[in-house]
Amino acid sequence: MTIPLTASLRKFSLPLRILAAILGGWAFSWSFVACSTTVLVGLGMPFHDAETASLMLGLLAFLTVFLWAFATRSALRVATALPVGALLFHVVALLLQRQILSWGL
């Protein structure tokens, strides 16, 4: 059972890598922007300043993970690490946002 699975994985490894690099990288950096924005707002920066700074960092993050997606050995690692990272950043962003909103105006 394991042999056909690895063989089919190898066949789809390039399309998987490309898809993961573009869509996974996008999701990852989007959540990164959200997370970084909430962290900076939490540290006392005004919302739009925090958002702008995070967008700049987020674009650089996208570039970095995009390159990493092709430099790293395993396509499967790319396809799991990026969505998991995106989910983690997203959850942290939502929790921090709830915390900040609870401080009130």
Residues 61, 31 contacting (CB under 8 angstroms): no
- Closer CB to other proteins, 12 or 84, in the complex: 12
Residue closer to other proteins by CB (options 59, 84) is 59
Query: Contact, 28 vs 82, CB < 8 A?
Result: yes
**Residues in the site for other proteins, rule: CB under 8 A?**
10, 13-14, 17, 22, 26, 29-30, 33-34, 37-38, 41, 45-56, 58-59, 62-63, 66-67, 70-71, 75, 90, 93-94, 97, 100-101, 105
CB 66 within 8 A of CB 102: no
